[in-house]
């Protein structure tokens, strides 16, 4: 892949910062520029060698950029696209790291009037429970999936550039329909996060249990680790992939109602079968 002259990271946190740090580590661009409103955060990114330079002016940040990576909450994706629109060249590739693709595509459609040919929606399936630029890791994407959801108008050239870039960062790139993406991740990512948040919130200073967290062991901590994730990001995911999330919340609610009945009536054999089948499925498909 030809070395890019300038890459702009809009939102230099964990996802954007890790992308930038990996680009710099591998020397895939002459310059990696960060954009954000928090200058202190951007200065930290410089000190940590995450980016080469920064600007709090969107025009300056994206001007002449070969590629812009949007690593911002879904709730501000449209406004960021709108702000940078006047300063993009026709050849600038726009890609993103949003967890819900249909909403990002809709935002681009509304901002540009039509979907730009150099627009390549994406979603890196990697992260940590900790957020912010101080958690940025150049190796974050190695052996992790990155899902790209090109639109009908996405050019092959732009798609190939983004695909090659992620591959060079060590990611396993997969192409997927955006609606299928949103359905899959509502069930496998968004649902577990919402359940973890809800469980911790339910037990926090519970009137019957008090400070129950002092008694928690490994199982509880493993299950609820993701409840330490960024609240703004997950609020936006709940808002912008709500249809698919609600569908799987209802499916889970039905499963919980069934489980409640089995436990209440002490259906030993049925409970064993349920637990054993779940164990076999996890052991088969998920490697720790």
Confidence category of residue 288, pLDDT binned at 50, 70, 90: low
Section 144-155 average pLDDT: 97
Six-digit token string for 247: 């569908």
Do 158 and 34 lie in one domain? The reply is yes
Closest CA to 230 of 106, 86, 71, 119: 71
Confidence category of residue 2, pLDDT binned at 50, 70, 90: confident
Confidence category of residue 83, pLDDT binned at 50, 70, 90: very high
Do 155 and 189 lie in one domain? The reply is no
Closest CA to 175 of 156, 188, 191, 193: 156
Residue 207 has pLDDT above 90, yes or no: no
In this predicted structure, what is the pLDDT of residue 49? 95
188 backbone dihedrals φ, ψ, rounded to 5°:
-100, -15
Residue 3 has pLDDT above 80, yes or no: yes
For the chain, give the mean pLDDT.
Answer: 95
Residue 144 has pLDDT above 70, yes or no: yes
Number of domains in the chain: 2
95 backbone dihedrals φ, ψ, rounded to 5°:
-140, 170
Do 45 and 188 lie in one domain? The reply is no
In this predicted structure, what is the pLDDT of residue 205? 87
End residue of a domain, out of 143, 176, 209 = 176
pLDDT tens for 9-40 read: 999 999 999 999 999 999 999 999 999 999 99
Residues contacting residue 170 through CB under 8 Å, at least 6 positions apart:
22, 139, 141, 142, 143, 144
In this predicted structure, what is the pLDDT of residue 165? 97
Section 110-116 average pLDDT: 96
pLDDT tens for 224-268 read: 999 998 899 899 999 999 999 999 999 999 999 999 999 999 999
In this predicted structure, what is the pLDDT of residue 246? 98
Do 122 and 254 lie in one domain? The reply is no
Section 93-102 average pLDDT: 97
Do 157 and 258 lie in one domain? The reply is no
Do 33 and 133 lie in one domain? The reply is yes
Do 171 and 122 lie in one domain? The reply is yes
pLDDT-above-90 percentage for the chain: 91
Domain extent at residue 203: 180-285
């Amino acid at each position: 892949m030809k070395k890019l002259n300038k890459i702009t990271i809009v939102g230099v946190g964990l996802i954007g910062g890790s992308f930038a740090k990996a680009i710099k580590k591998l020397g895939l661009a002459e310059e990696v520029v960060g954009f954000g409103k928090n200058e202190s955060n951007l200065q930290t990114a410089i000190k940590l060698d995450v980016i080469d330079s920064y600007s709090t002016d969107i025009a300056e940040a994206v001007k002449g950029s070969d590629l812009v990576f949007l690593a911002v909450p879904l709730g501000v994706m449209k406004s960021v696209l709108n702000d940078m629109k006047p300063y993009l060249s026709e050849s600038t590739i726009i890609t993103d790291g949003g967890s819900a693709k249909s909403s990002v595509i809709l935002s681009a459609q509304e901002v540009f009037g039509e979907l730009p040919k150099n627009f390549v929606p994406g979603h890196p399936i990697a992260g940590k429970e900790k957020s912010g630029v101080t958690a940025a890791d150049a190796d974050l994407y190695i052996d992790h999936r990155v899902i790209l959801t090109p639109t009908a108008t996405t050019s092959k050239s732009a798609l190939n550039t983004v695909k090659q870039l992620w591959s060079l960062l060590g990611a396993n790139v997969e192409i997927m329909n955006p609606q299928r993406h949103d359905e899959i991740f509502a069930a496998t990512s968004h649902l577990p996060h919402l359940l973890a948040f809800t469980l911790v919130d339910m037990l926090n200073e519970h009137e019957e249990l008090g400070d129950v967290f002092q008694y928690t062991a490994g199982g509880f901590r493993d299950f609820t680790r993701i409840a330490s994730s960024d609240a703004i990001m997950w609020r936006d995911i709940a808002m912008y992939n709500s249809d698919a999330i609600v569908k799987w919340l209802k499916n889970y609610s039905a499963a919980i109602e069934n489980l409640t009945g089995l436990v209440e009536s002490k259906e030993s054999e049925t409970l064993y079968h349920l637990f054993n089948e779940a164990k076999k499925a996890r052991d088969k498909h998920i490697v720790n």
